[in-house]
Amino acid sequence: MSDSREIVQEYLDIVATVREYVEEQMQLGFTEHHEPKKQTGDFDLKRLREEAADCTRCELHQNRNTVVFGTGDENAELMFVGEAPGADEDRQGEPFVGRAGQLLTKIIEAVGYARGQVYIANVIKCRPPGNRNPKPVEVETCEPFLLKQIELIHPKVICALGSFAAQTLLRTDQKISSLRGKFHDYRGVKVMPTYHPAFLLRNPNAKRDVWEDMKLVIAELKKDRALRESSP
């Protein structure tokens, strides 16, 4: 290929890559481009939170008190994703603050983090009335917020709490019992599905499995840190 043909081909490849990216963003429901947060400070996550705060895209906005966007360190290496806010979360505007949330805080602390050092969010940002399961249309409508959060926070590991979060992120209908215990990939981020803390409250024996999953998470984060520290 001549030099000028190579340049044209290179140009066409760049255009195709940009188009693919823009189409993907539009499919996720975003019409504006957000630069990755790590290059621009925390402005974008703040903007996303503001966008979510007055969201009326699905019927869940009719009964909510607050949009439960997410909490924690916006540069966290470890992120937890749950299902949807319950009554306590809806009242306080923060995910995982009820009984299941207190157990999640204990799990986080047991693996050596403070709650504020990780990031916690849900697939669905508004409480489904009576804590019913979110409808597929609600997941589809709300999911772009979570996906954008993940993109901006860019954690090293996501811990998907329960089958709903795991199945949504991994686009699968496999059971949590077969998904847990190993890493899966979500756009280059390692995902460890594990049991939801609310399930653990009803089934304390499953805490042993969660502990095994969390040990894998910690080992992975350690490995990642060692790699980063050893590279120039």
Distance from C-alpha of 11 to C-alpha of 189, rounded to nearest angstrom: 29
Nearest CA-CA partner of 148 in 78, 46, 54: 46
Q: How many CA atoms lie within 13 A of 215 on its CB side?
A: 7
According to CB under 6 A, which one of 52, 76, 100, 166 is a site residue for ligand URA?
Answer: 100
Minimum CB separation of residue 70 from ligand URA in Å reads: 10
Distance from C-alpha of 105 to C-alpha of 114, rounded to nearest angstrom: 8
Q: Which residues are within 8 A (CB) of 210 and not within 5 positions of it... i.e. 6 or more apart?
A: 107, 194, 195, 200
3-state secondary structure of 72: strand
Minimum CB separation of residue 27 from ligand URA in Å reads: 25
95 binds ligand URA (CB under 6 A): yes
Our CB check for ligand URA shows the closer of 89 and 213 to be 89
Site for ligand URA in 188-207 (CB under 6 A): 198
**Where does this chain touch ligand URA (CB under 6 A) — which range of 12-20, 92-100, 170-178, 204-212?**
92-100
70 binds ligand URA (CB under 6 A): no
Distance from C-alpha of 209 to C-alpha of 191, rounded to nearest angstrom: 16
Nearest-CB residue to ligand URA? Answer: 82
What mask of x and - would describe binding to ligand URA in positions 115 to 154, judged by CB under 6 A?
Answer: -------x--------------------------------
86 binds ligand URA (CB under 6 A): yes
According to CB under 6 A, which one of 85, 144, 155, 193 is a site residue for ligand URA?
Answer: 85
3-state secondary structure of 158: strand
Distance from C-alpha of 213 to C-alpha of 193, rounded to nearest angstrom: 8
CB-CB contact of 193 with 180 (8 Å) = yes
Our CB check for ligand URA shows the closer of 72 and 101 to be 101
Residues found near ligand URA in the complex (CB under 6 A): 82-86, 89, 95-96, 98, 100-101, 122, 198
